[in-house]
Structure 1
């Protein structure tokens, strides 16, 4: 009888550094309470079908106890429902909306800010400082979320974001404003992935797609309506309200969140100073110390090359070389650290992780860059003001939000997410191709219709996140989300500069060809407002049509980059696996 009982008791093997293994008994009750995830033997996840892949096949470190390993990989099941879930969703959605709004609202305010501070030379830093700090800190925040309660870490980053917004709102100089943007970027690094982590802990897997889609739909509204809201504030009140708005709305959401019960996806100890001291060795601060300079040098090279220095200058080349040297050192260190790394290779090398990152990054890059340049087309080419250019983007906004909500609801009901990723990428690729044909004479029906097709991107925005939530163990869920958001933010920072370079170089060439009397540098200094573009030539000048066509051609050239990004997302979508998220995961072959 004892042998029979022992045979029915599963064993959890823990690999030691020397290659030996020790076994520890895990009761059937623990396995059942752990839900649909169970540890898998080494190497078996690669041979299992996509739909049956284990959420976590990483090897635990030898220093960890098997009890801790099991606890980290089992969801608590402490979900929220009813009005409490409604308040929680309101809070994190408000944060998400404000975060996306903050990224784009500044676009229509920058001309007035540079006029007030007499700081046209600093224009690149108004967005660059935010992106620099946000992208650099992003991977470390994912590590923090795996060790500390999501609620208090989220509120901490929210406080930093609010401080940065306040500094921007009351700034008395360009330098003070740039510092405020950098501080806000530090706060934002833990908010976007934090909001998704909070939702993952609050609702079960089968309900996450619809709630994540609702949150991301409002986020997209913030991203795309930002130029409209910023234009209204700048034109009728003051640009400072672009940042003041974060204080009352964020404060209300923060107040609700501070009093709500926010469950964690896995059990975490109560936040104490002793806990914070104990987790510091687990945060891979050495990896962060190597990664941060590499990321900063690379982004600074892009920033300097696009604004202050020639691309072939020693400053830009030196920064690129420095980043190129530091990055391989970072990769070696992360490989050496294993699962304790800031970005564990055991996680990133899983196909669903890097494929989801490609799908999400390609799609979101087309969204970010599109939101940046669509207002330029409507203002510089169509000749409307900041407010009306935002109104002209309503077909894009409304269709995108509807497709996000629709796809989230249908993924929850039908289960499969891969078709929505394919439809989103295909629709965005086609729409970007159609938008690249826009000219000064494009009809109203055409630019409305093409924007509606562009809204198909909403079908796939949450797909990468849903795929990672299903594929990774709860212990790596926050790390996977942070990695995905980092890829998005880093690519947005890079491709915003690339898009701006494509636009300016094309504009310089086209101005010389189509309006020879206009100084190309004056065309760049004019910006994208309707009045400034039309003031480049005397009233009634026959060269006005050439100037407008030059801006239209420059916009169309940027759209070619959007086509490439969306096409990358389309190709990557097919590697995400045919998975039904409605089903409870069953132990795969070889699981115990």
Structure 2
């Protein structure tokens, strides 16, 4: 059965308005008129949803429900794949570096992945408009699996670093493409359910990853942390190839290549790599006032400025269209996503350090201690998704989420070296609920505020802003953490000269005796507390930005909504 025969009534809604398809399409007006059919219209920007869907307002999906569920399972596996890879490898990096006798280069295992994943992420939205959703999604998965196979087969640190960079190129597109495809297949009113489950899977993988990484490292081989991606990815590929069908995008390969914003893509990737290197090295590998960090920051800023000029004046189909930033809701959503990413990553990075360094737990045990955050995230993601689908209101969940997340982050700063299990669980549960209410709901908000032709680009850019927030948040918190550790150890250096080594390896604290160990743990506790404090103003700023989000009706049909 052809794609046309499968879903003739909805094929026109699967791609942007400026793309030519094999199937006939009908142009939709950009402003409401008196002749617009009731089932294809939506209130203008800012008009509240009238309430529950009526009997005549049923969703129309591009796939039959059974096929949609199978496709959704495949997409979920793709998200699980990408999210798992971010956390499972973190536990194995020390073992990998020791095997390759390259401990000094251990940071590059994560850095190369982060650089390519972040830099290529915003490109996928526009590329999916040009080459088609299915082709670009298959490309992302294939590149990611190829990189994973090369990582597992690496024979030295150089091969590992390059292979992780290849994996990052693919991983940067998987999450964005999943959200874009769900947008194409599911009506706005029903989208919250699916995106809520995606958010829950993302949170679950952040806990399963360290546990699996610890098991592989301790009982098998670190190489399985990469090889495990292959069977999961193979299932995803089969499901996508067999069941995911979109109208074919017309045009020869040459015509499609001409539509690509090559200059914009090159300048964006180059500028982001320079800036991310500066943020990654600043305060750790090199002082912030060193020539190399200042040079990277200045060079990165200059290249990003060139990118913005290209997008503004030269690009025919820009990667980051300027008109996205002309709408109050879009700017509010992108800003909220940025601050959400910052708070989320700060908490997910420093709470495991609290359990491992201060509470002296193993990496596996620290992963289990984080379960309250995951439980809260799972509950809030799924609950908010179904409630949004029922009521059509999403802003209250965003506001509630930021309030809970910020409050929980503040409460975590009250933890002490000897805090009981009750406060730990309660505070982390509050944080998890807050993250769960926000994570996918902000995406739903921006998708309801853009016309269909910008849906893919808006989705990819929101994911990009959230990732950049993670990088900047962890960079600032890391600087605060390192400065507090150095200042805390300074009075002890005169008495215990060897204590400086504890700053690089906290497990050496016990070698100085119980009394000194207690002082060292207090220093680390103060440093972790300061790092978590950084998340509080980020959360407040995110909440304030979310107040500017204007409500748009979540329609129950899959056709393009009439937007502002």
State the shift of 1:29 in Å: 13
Matches of 1:464 and 1:412, distance apart in 2: 14
Confirm whether residue 354 of structure 1 aligns to residue 359 of structure 2: no
Query: Which protein shows a greater Rg?
Result: 1
Change (3 A) 1:30 1:108: farther
Q: 2:92 aligns with which of 106, 109, 113?
A: 109
- Please list, as runs of the form range in 1=range in 2, the aligned pairs for 1:394-433 lying within 5 A after superposition: 394-433=371-410
The aligned counterpart of 1:545 is: 518
Matches of 2:515 and 2:28, distance apart in 1: 85
Matches of 1:118 and 1:335, distance apart in 2: 48
Change (3 A) 1:243 1:231: same
Whether the aligned pair in 2 keeps the contact of 1:514 and 1:546 (CA below 8 Å) is: no
Matches of 1:560 and 1:586, distance apart in 2: 41
- Please list, as runs of the form range in 1=range in 2, the aligned pairs for 1:96-495 lying within 5 A after superposition: 96-263=79-246, 268-269=248-249, 275-337=252-314, 340-456=317-433, 457-495=435-473
Number of aligned residue pairs: give it. Answer: 523
Answer with 422-431 or 319-328: which moved more.
319-328
State the shift of 1:405 in Å: 0.4
State the shift of 1:330 in Å: 1.8
TM-score normalised according to structure 2 size: 0.87
Change (3 A) 1:389 1:283: same
State the shift of 1:319 in Å: 1.4
TM-score normalised according to structure 1 size: 0.83
> What's the secondary structure of 2:40's corresponding residue?
coil
Output one character per residue of 1:139-165: Cα deviation in whole Å (capped at 9) or x when no partner.
221111122221121011100001111
Matches of 2:467 and 2:476, distance apart in 1: 14
Structure 1 runs of 4+ off > 4 angstroms?
28-34, 582-588
Whether the aligned pair in 1 keeps the contact of 2:180 and 2:455 (CA below 8 Å) is: yes
State the shift of 1:230 in Å: 1.7
Whether the aligned pair in 2 keeps the contact of 1:166 and 1:243 (CA below 8 Å) is: yes
Change (3 A) 1:421 1:188: same
Matches of 1:25 and 1:408, distance apart in 2: 28
Matches of 1:562 and 1:268, distance apart in 2: 45
Matches of 1:546 and 1:387, distance apart in 2: 25
Change (3 A) 1:441 1:345: same
Output one character per residue of 1:83-115: Cα deviation in whole Å (capped at 9) or x when no partner.
211111111101101111111222222222222
Long gaps (5+) in structure 2: 1-26, 50-58
Matches of 1:429 and 1:485, distance apart in 2: 21
State the shift of 1:179 in Å: 0.7
The aligned counterpart of 2:19 is: none
State the shift of 1:309 in Å: 2.7
Confirm whether residue 568 of structure 1 aligns to residue 563 of structure 2: no
Output one character per residue of 1:397-445: Cα deviation in whole Å (capped at 9) or x when no partner.
1111111100011011111110000111000111000101111111111
State the shift of 1:37 in Å: 6.5
Change (3 A) 1:187 1:473: same
Matches of 1:424 and 1:504, distance apart in 2: 30
Output one character per residue of 1:159-218: Cα deviation in whole Å (capped at 9) or x when no partner.
000111111112121111111110011101211110001111111111111111111210
Whether the aligned pair in 2 keeps the contact of 1:107 and 1:372 (CA below 8 Å) is: no
Output one character per residue of 1:11-39: Cα deviation in whole Å (capped at 9) or x when no partner.
xxxxxxxxxxxxx998x99964993369x
State the shift of 1:124 in Å: 2.2
Matches of 2:35 and 2:209, distance apart in 1: 49
The aligned counterpart of 1:504 is: 482
Change (3 A) 1:222 1:294: same
Confirm whether residue 526 of structure 1 aligns to residue 505 of structure 2: yes
Whether the aligned pair in 1 keeps the contact of 2:115 and 2:273 (CA below 8 Å) is: yes
Whether the aligned pair in 2 keeps the contact of 1:131 and 1:489 (CA below 8 Å) is: no
Answer with 170-179 or 299-308: which moved more.
299-308
Matches of 1:359 and 1:240, distance apart in 2: 37
Output one character per residue of 1:314-349: Cα deviation in whole Å (capped at 9) or x when no partner.
222211111222222222221114762211111122
Change (3 A) 1:141 1:194: same
State the shift of 1:293 in Å: 1.8
Q: 2:40 aligns with which of 12, 35, 50?
A: 35
> What's the secondary structure of 2:286's corresponding residue?
coil
Matches of 2:442 and 2:252, distance apart in 1: 32
Matches of 1:124 and 1:130, distance apart in 2: 10
Change (3 A) 1:424 1:513: farther
> What's the secondary structure of 2:439's corresponding residue?
coil
Long gaps (5+) in structure 1: 1-23, 39-44, 53-75
Matches of 2:226 and 2:330, distance apart in 1: 35
Matches of 1:119 and 1:199, distance apart in 2: 42
Matches of 2:359 and 2:290, distance apart in 1: 37
CA RMSD of aligned residues (A): 2.7
The aligned counterpart of 2:20 is: none
The aligned counterpart of 2:13 is: none
State the shift of 1:136 in Å: 1.3
Output one character per residue of 1:21-70: Cα deviation in whole Å (capped at 9) or x when no partner.
xxx998x99964993369xxxxxx8xx63559xxxxxxxxxxxxxxxxxx
